[in-house]
Structure 1
Amino acid sequence: MSTSIARYERAARKAQADGRIPALSVALHRADREPWIFTVGESGNPEHPLGPQSRFRIGSVTKTFTAVLVLQARDDGLLDLDQPVSRYLDVPAHGDATIRRLLSHTAGYQREPYGDVWDTLITPDAGRLIAELDRAERVLPNARRYHYSNLGLAVLGQTVAKLRGGTWAEILTERVLAPLGLEHTTVERPAEAVVGYLVDAYSDAARPEPAIDLGGVAPAAQLWSTASDMAKWAAFLVNPDEKVLDPATVEEMRWPLTTTDESLWAAGFGLGLILCPDGKRVVHVGHDGAMPGFLAGVYGRRGGEGNPGGLGCAVLGSSGTAGQTNELVHELLRLAVENDPADIRPWRPAAPAPALYRSALGRWWSEGSEFVFAWHDGRLQARVTEAPADRPPAVFRPLPDQPDVLRTISGRETGELLRLTRDESGAVVRMHWATYRFARVQEAFDGGLASDGAFGEAEG
């Protein structure tokens, strides 16, 4: 056993023992290694002992699948994120909430559907969920702040179902689960299901929890899965497969729209995704899940030294109270890059910059600061000279039929234009980026040279 695998296994064993988790299943998925899968404990299912194929409830990790279905619908022109949900679904109340606000939990919907669903364990079917929306509260004004809502995501799931002309479960299987090969992720409780427990706080007794069906709330928390499937899904959230969703759309989903706590910015929400910063320019992207007797943590890692890309982790546990389940997923992602970092690829020479842009390369000045423009990976790039080495450069792409006007496609000033001005010989002598002037020497805003000084001289 390698040192790194031994450390993963020890971390999992410690979490299972410290958290008193009857069954724990863990998986790491990465682009450059075989998947690592580990289980410890007992399934509680005599016909299916605990193993890699054991299924756990993943709870609210289900929301990430519903969010992908919503963004697929947007990309297909079926909806607009900034239109109210009432434009796409006939609702009796709260229809002014936009799709974007519902996805980011900033629409103000109450947490659960109308009624004491976690007391009765009876949830409405899809029709009743929508019909009783006028009995649910809008506990906060639209866009006021983050407020987590299972009801909001359930409404979005039913919206997609209506737009696609099927049930949420059918559309999920057809458009996400099947294309990605997530064969062990199901809406219905499978035969391989482990038993979920409530572990007594003051003894080692464990009571089985009921395996409830969520009905119309299914798009928020219904799914069952294996750790292996979920680690693969976590990797998708940081390194998407374009046959399911355009990478640019997944990047949009990962952009933080709100924090979950106004005074402790330890986590945020994008479009259906939880974002957990983990050090300098590193973020874990995914979701936690909870259902009676189960907890789950499913996250991918973006950024940071040693990251092999496509790095995802899932931790699934059969206790509804062991916080170690949700902590372990982040620990394993860190261990993966610390103890088994990606191989360092050797640098190799590449083709030179096109002649059209060579005179734009080198040092430029704007707003008193020095920038370096360079050509790498087939693109013009720019960065401030004093920027930290791990800060990504701005990257530019020429507009069609306008080679001297380039759009910033990532990094600093994303979306803004860079305009090149040439002299009679065709050399670039001046640039304007986001309308700010760039020159080869350090200039004041009036065009005067900084080297000319004039400190202490009377104004004209």
Structure 2
Amino acid sequence: MQLPEPLVADLDRLLGTAQSEQRMPSVSACVFRDGDVVWQRSLGFADVASGRLATPDDVYRIGSITKTFTAVLIMQSVAEGRIDLDAPLRSYLPEAPVGPTIRMALSHTSGVQREPPGEIWETMKPPSREELIAGLEDAEQVLRPGEQWHYSNLVFALLGEVLMRVSGEPYADVLQRRILDPLGLRRTSLTPVDPKASPYFVDPYTDAVHDEADPEVTESTGAAGWLWSNPGDLACWGAFLADGHEAVLAKAELDRMARVQVMVDETRWSLGWGLGLELYRRGDRVFAGHGGAMPGMLAGLVVHRAERTGAAVLTNTGAEAKPEALALDLATAALDALPRTPEPWRPGEPVPVELEGVLGLWWTEGEQIVLSLHGGRFQADLVNGAPGRKVSWFEPAGPDRWRVVEGRERGELLRAVRDETGAVAKLYFVTYPLTREPSSFA
């Protein structure tokens, strides 16, 4: 896809400005759309001492973006019936704290303390699997389960342990077999393969950079934030989060992951959490993705799933840089400059027999509801309803019955009542009567 020159210039400016103002030794970024990388740039030094410039092939630690991979592995087991999303974490890990469910663990509402007990961010020695489990005796339940959002690396490490116990395989093997190989993510791994960027701490008062710690991965913590990757692989991963993949996870399961479970900033409603996915609101758009932070490296990945457009940003500084914000800026610029042309309208098939007499205008509680069939989908539109909360989409649920599978009143039932001639006389939606003429409850 050939981008318009003004958009290319805008993306270049955004990246260059961020690299300069946020003092990133290097930054590597891309914008992707419809499964393809449409813009990619790398600026600065992957290794300052040698003077080696960053390239798109360089891998960086992606930190907690790893959690999105772990969440997909969990949801694979949910889809296969091996894990119950609403079962207690203890069902699969008896040593886990009492109370939190798998859903709470994925959405960071477990209430369990943020980090494994100990001072691992001082010693830079993460615990072994045995040490992680033994340390649970000292782990605090800092909030009541399900009460509110509270980020926990410890809980995602426990989800990694759940995966290993359910599968009987090391985390790295499950990840390779069930995600990396099927999607062809050849530059994503728990241990880096050259070329790789070097991690740095940028001095806040001078322009000096200092080598940062480079901790080793362990089985116990790998699931929480230890992957390395490059922008191209993250673009592929972002495209998967939008579309799904038959060999990894269906789009319908990813739709579940991208539904809001909890709001993080309850006063602004600009950041929420799904099942392992961060949800960012920019204006009228909601992006799914995640940020990542490790010593000397920061990362951000966002994708607007409906528009199949997103951005990935990687940098080798652990301070000042804001890769998530930059990824949102890049993706937003692309969306603003590349509006979709609607698909041409085409005549559809005749109305199915089961919907004869059902379509058209109905009344309930003095409100108008229009039932229609467009693009092969049966839907109800609440006339003058609030934007984003006015349309319901149905699927058949038996004779003269349809269930809302998406949109307003999801899960509720629409049913038809016929007269002695077989004609539709009345409808009930969410148990409220629908009539062809306005009427009172009486």
- What's the TM-score, normalizing by structure 1? 0.91
Q: State which drifts further: 241-250 or 21-30.
A: 241-250
Return the offset for 1:312.
2.4
How many Å separate the matches in 2 of 1:34 and 1:314?
A: 10
How many Å separate the matches in 2 of 1:164 and 1:143?
A: 27
Which contiguous aligned blocks of 4+ residues in structure 1 show a shift greater than 6 angstroms? Answer: none
1:155 to 2:158 alignment: yes
Return the offset for 1:333.
1.3
How many Å separate the matches in 2 of 1:194 and 1:388?
A: 48
**2:402 equivalent among 377, 389, 406:** 406
Return the offset for 1:48.
6.3
User: What corresponds to 1:237 in structure 2?
Assistant: 241
For residue 358 of structure 2, what is the amino acid of its counterpart? A
Question: Please, what is the CA RMSD of the aligned residues?
Answer: 1.8
User: What corresponds to 2:6 in structure 1?
Assistant: 3
Q: Secondary structure at the match of 2:132?
A: helix
Structure 2 residue ranges without an equivalent (≥5): none
Q: Secondary structure at the match of 1:77?
A: coil
User: What corresponds to 1:375 in structure 2?
Assistant: 373
Structure-to-structure mapping, 1:192-203, within 5 angstroms: 192-203=195-206
**1:188 equivalent among 186, 191, 203:** 191
CA contact (8 A) 2:296 2:318 kept: yes
For residue 339 of structure 1, what is the amino acid of its counterpart? A
For residue 411 of structure 1, what is the amino acid of its counterpart? G
1:41 to 2:39 alignment: no
Q: State which drifts further: 209-218 or 221-230.
A: 209-218
Structure 1 33/145 Cα, relative in aligned 2: closer, same or farther at 3 Å?
Answer: closer
Return the offset for 1:390.
6.0
**1:423 equivalent among 386, 400, 419:** 419
User: What corresponds to 1:276 in structure 2?
Assistant: 280
Give aligned-pair identity as a percent: 39
Structure-to-structure mapping, 1:444-459, within 5 angstroms: 444-446=440-442
CA contact (8 A) 2:26 2:45 kept: yes
Return the offset for 1:426.
3.4
Return the offset for 1:65.
0.6
CA contact (8 A) 1:373 1:383 kept: yes
**2:91 equivalent among 66, 87, 90:** 87
**2:303 equivalent among 300, 311, 322:** 300
Q: Secondary structure at the match of 1:42?
A: strand
User: What corresponds to 2:103 in structure 1?
Assistant: 100
How many Å separate the matches in 1 of 2:236 and 2:324?
A: 17
Q: Cα deviation per residue 1:296-353 (whole Å; 9 max; x = unaligned)?
A: 11111145xxxxx322211111111133322111111111111122233222222232
User: What corresponds to 2:213 in structure 1?
Assistant: 210
1:179 to 2:174 alignment: no
- What's the TM-score, normalizing by structure 2? 0.94
How many Å separate the matches in 2 of 1:47 and 1:156?
A: 40
User: What corresponds to 1:453 in structure 2?
Assistant: none
Structure-to-structure mapping, 1:25-174, within 5 angstroms: 25-31=28-34, 34-44=37-47, 46=50, 49-91=53-95, 94-174=97-177
Structure of greater Rg: 1
Return the offset for 1:249.
1.4
Q: Cα deviation per residue 1:403-451 (whole Å; 9 max; x = unaligned)?
A: 31111111111111110122344332210011111011111111xxxxx
Q: Cα deviation per residue 1:239-266 (whole Å; 9 max; x = unaligned)?
A: 2223211222111111111111333322
Return the offset for 1:140.
1.6
Structure 1 residue ranges without an equivalent (≥5): 304-308, 447-460
How many Å separate the matches in 2 of 1:324 and 1:18?
A: 11
